[in-house]
Amino acid sequence: MYSRPSPAESTAEAPLTIAKFHAPEIVFGDGALAEAGHAAGRLGARRPLLVTDPGLLATPWVGELLRHLRDADLHPVVWSGVTPNPKDHEVAAGYEKYLEAGCDVIMGIGGGSVIDAGKGVALLAANGGSILDFAGVDRSRQPIPPLVMMPSTAGTGADVSQFCIVTDTTHNTKITIVGRTLVPDVSVIDPRLLTTMPEWLAAATGLDALTHGIEAFVSKAHNPLTDHHALNSIALVNGNLVRTIDSPGESASRLLMAQASLEAGLAFTNAILGAAHAMSHQVGGLLDLPHGVINGVLLPHVVRFNALADPRRYVVIGKAMGIPAEGATDEEVALAVADKVRALADDVGVPRGLGELGVTAEHLPVLAANTLHDACLATNPRPATAREVEALFRAAL
- Please tell me whether residues 282 and 340 are part of one structural domain: yes
Residue 4 lies in a domain: no
Q: How many domains does the chain have?
A: 2
H-helix or E-strand spanning residue 369: helix 364-371
Q: Residue 6's pLDDT band (boundaries 50, 70, 90)?
A: very low
Mean pLDDT of 12-37: 85
- Please tell me whether residues 187 and 246 are part of one structural domain: no
- Please tell me whether residues 297 and 155 are part of one structural domain: no
Tell me, what's the pLDDT at 18? 80
User: Taking the model in full, what pTM does it have?
Assistant: 0.94
- Please tell me whether residues 175 and 42 are part of one structural domain: yes
Instruction: Look at residue 59 and give its three-state secondary structure.
Output: coil
pLDDT tens-digit series, residues 345-396? 999 999 999 999 999 999 999 999 999 999 999 999 999 999 999 999 999 9
Mean pLDDT of 69-73: 97
Residue 10 has pLDDT above 50, yes or no: no
- Please tell me whether residues 124 and 240 are part of one structural domain: no
CATH (domain of 110): 3.40.50.1970
pLDDT tens-digit series, residues 209-257? 999 999 999 999 999 999 999 999 999 999 999 999 999 889 999 999 9
The b/e string for 21-40 (b: 16+ C-beta within 10 A; e otherwise) is eebbeebeeeebbbbbbbbb
Which among 193, 198, 243 is positioned nearest to 30, based on CA atoms?
A: 193
Residue 17 has pLDDT above 90, yes or no: no
Report the C-alpha gap between 242 and 210 in whole angstroms: 13
CATH (domain of 287): 1.20.1090.10
pLDDT tens-digit series, residues 281-304? 999 999 999 999 999 999 999 999
Mean pLDDT of 27-44: 97
- Please tell me whether residues 117 and 259 are part of one structural domain: no
Mean pLDDT score across all residues of the chain: 94
pLDDT tens-digit series, residues 190-214? 999 999 999 999 999 999 999 999 9
The b/e string for 247-276 (b: 16+ C-beta within 10 A; e otherwise) is ebeeeebbbbbbbbbbbbbbbbbbbbbbbb
Residue 14 lies in a domain: no
Tell me, what's the pLDDT at 254? 95
Which of 194, 222, 239 is where one domain is finished? Answer: 194
- Please tell me whether residues 349 and 218 are part of one structural domain: yes
Report the C-alpha gap between 397 and 376 in whole angstroms: 21
Mean pLDDT of 62-68: 98
Residues ≥6 apart with Cβ < 8 Å to 165 = 85, 86, 112, 116, 174, 175, 176, 177, 281, 291
Residue 43 lies in a domain: yes
